[in-house]
Amino acid sequence: MKSVVISKVACVTALGSGPDALWQGLLDGRSGIAQLQRFNCENYVSSLAACIEDLTAPLEGSRLDPLLEQLAEQLGEVPQDARLLVASTKGEIDRLDVSVRAGEALPQAVLFEPLLKKISRRFGLRDGGMNINAACASSTIALARSAALVAAGQAEVVLVYAADIVSEFVFSGFSALQALSAEPCKPFDKQRQGLNLGEAGVALLLMSEARAARQAQPPLATIVGWGAANDAHHVTAPARDGSGLFLACRAALKKAAINAAQIAAINAHGTGTPYNDAMELTAFQNLFADDLPPLHGIKGSVGHCLGAAGGLEVLVAGYALQQQMIPGTLGCEQPEDTGQRRISVAPQEICGDYLLCTNSGFGGINAALVLQGGDR
């Protein structure tokens, strides 16, 4: 099995443009969650979201367009033979909304094929790409698949591109489900009331270790384990026992050929909804017993970025392993009992080589990745 490294990364979030801006913003405890100006929120349970500053759609375009430009500029040259895996839950949903409200014919852009073509062309790739839709675990599943492709020698380089925007379509839906928090969200806090949506674009270039060495590309981290499992219990609510997340984590640890005690820290999904966070803590307790490692989540800073969430979190995990530190979990003033002394609003030092990243989504999907620190 070939070793799979993350060799280049790019991102845009409510905390700014670029991985360094995200990392420093997280360490500084900054939050991108603010009053939404994009649409009228008076009929919704919340008016907060983490939007990217000045992200506007061009005429007859989508907000995903400027995001693609920024990510392409940040990432620089990508090998033409890279495979393309895209992770977006709703693609150019803003184009659909505008067309329906205007009573116009639907543009092709509401489908994923044109989006794939646009991304592939912008990066100059030969591969036409594939979009993976696994709800909020989409980019984690895309990264797992990419790692598996490279490890099996079926691809040398894979570009994982994940992006989702804050739209009234999705915002109103989460509001109708009573899943939004009217206040800044509080992942893993005893008083948590729901999530805040966010938007982001993230690109991660994965390649075999040998290819990275040939290209003199120092890796951010190595993906050494991955797993996914379904524990559908309800279409939008997670299984209370966390059995799917537990299975996904166990598969990832097995693939990495390590045991739970070797995990230095966890980057959890941590949406801030009562059920999700409780489910995660149950799964982690089953996995780690009384030895839960330091744990954090970034959605109190950048909101829940849906299909892009996992990609962003893996990027942050790579930085965390390099600097042996995890950012604080903004909003978690009173951690749930299981997370006591393991979750903090302040950054925590960690010690070890491996970090576990997890995400879960509608439809009962759970995914886990194990990252190993690299030299940079």
Partner 1 sequence: MKAWINGIGWVTPAGFGQGRQSQSPPLQAGELQIPTRKDLFARIDRRFGRLDDFSRIGLAAVTFCLRDAGAEAWQKKRPLGIIAASRYGCLQTDLDYLQTLIPQQGKLASPNLFAYTLPNCFLGEAALRFGLTGNSLIINRRDPSRLAALQTGMEELSWSEQCGILVGIVDLVAPPELAAEDDLPGSLFLLLETTPRSEISSYGELELQNEQLFFNSDRLENLSQLIAACLQVTASVVDGGEKIPDS
Residues near partner 1 (CB under 8 A):
40, 42-44, 89-90, 93, 96-97, 100-101, 105-106, 108, 110-113, 116, 128-135, 138, 141, 145, 148-149, 151-152, 154, 168-169, 172-178, 227-236, 243-244, 247, 251, 361-365
Output the smallest distance, CB 88 to partner 1, in A: 9
Output the smallest distance, CB 375 to partner 1, in A: 27
Please name the residues in contact with 54: beta carbons below 8 A apart, sequence gap of 6 or more.
none
CB of 344 closer than 8 Å to CB of 266: no
Helix, coil or strand: residue 304: strand
305 is written with which tokens? 């970025």
Q: Using CA atoms, how far apart are residues 126 and 242, in angstroms rounded to an integer?
A: 40
Give the nearer residue to partner 1 in terms of CB position, either 122 or 233.
Answer: 233
**Phi and psi (nearest 5°) for 223?**
-90, 115
Give the nearer residue to partner 1 in terms of CB position, either 24 or 172.
Answer: 172
Q: Using CA atoms, how far apart are residues 241 and 230, in angstroms rounded to an integer?
A: 12
Give the nearer residue to partner 1 in terms of CB position, either 231 or 277.
Answer: 231
CB of 29 closer than 8 Å to CB of 325: no
Give the nearer residue to partner 1 in terms of CB position, either 57 or 130.
Answer: 130
Give the nearer residue to partner 1 in terms of CB position, either 311 or 328.
Answer: 311
109 is written with which tokens? 């852009």
CB of 164 closer than 8 Å to CB of 305: yes
Give the nearer residue to partner 1 in terms of CB position, either 57 or 135.
Answer: 135
Task: Name the β-bridge partners of 232.
Answer: none
Q: How many residues does the chain have?
A: 376
Output the smallest distance, CB 220 to partner 1, in A: 23
Q: Side by side, which strands form the sheet with 34-35?
A: 34-35, 48-50, 197-198
Output the smallest distance, CB 32 to partner 1, in A: 23
- C-alpha 175: how far from chain center: 21
Give the nearer residue to partner 1 in terms of CB position, either 23 or 112.
Answer: 112
Output the smallest distance, CB 355 to partner 1, in A: 22
One-letter amino acid at 304 equals H
Give the nearer residue to partner 1 in terms of CB position, either 140 or 348.
Answer: 140
Q: Using CA atoms, how far apart are residues 143 and 205, in angstroms rounded to an integer?
A: 10
Give the nearer residue to partner 1 in terms of CB position, either 350 or 365.
Answer: 365
Reported as type and span, the H/E element at residue 327 is none
Output the smallest distance, CB 361 to partner 1, in A: 8
Output the smallest distance, CB 313 to partner 1, in A: 18
Output the smallest distance, CB 243 to partner 1, in A: 8
Q: How far is CA 364 from CA 151, 238, 270, 361, in A?
A: 27, 6, 16, 6
- Provide Rg for the chain, Cα atoms: 19
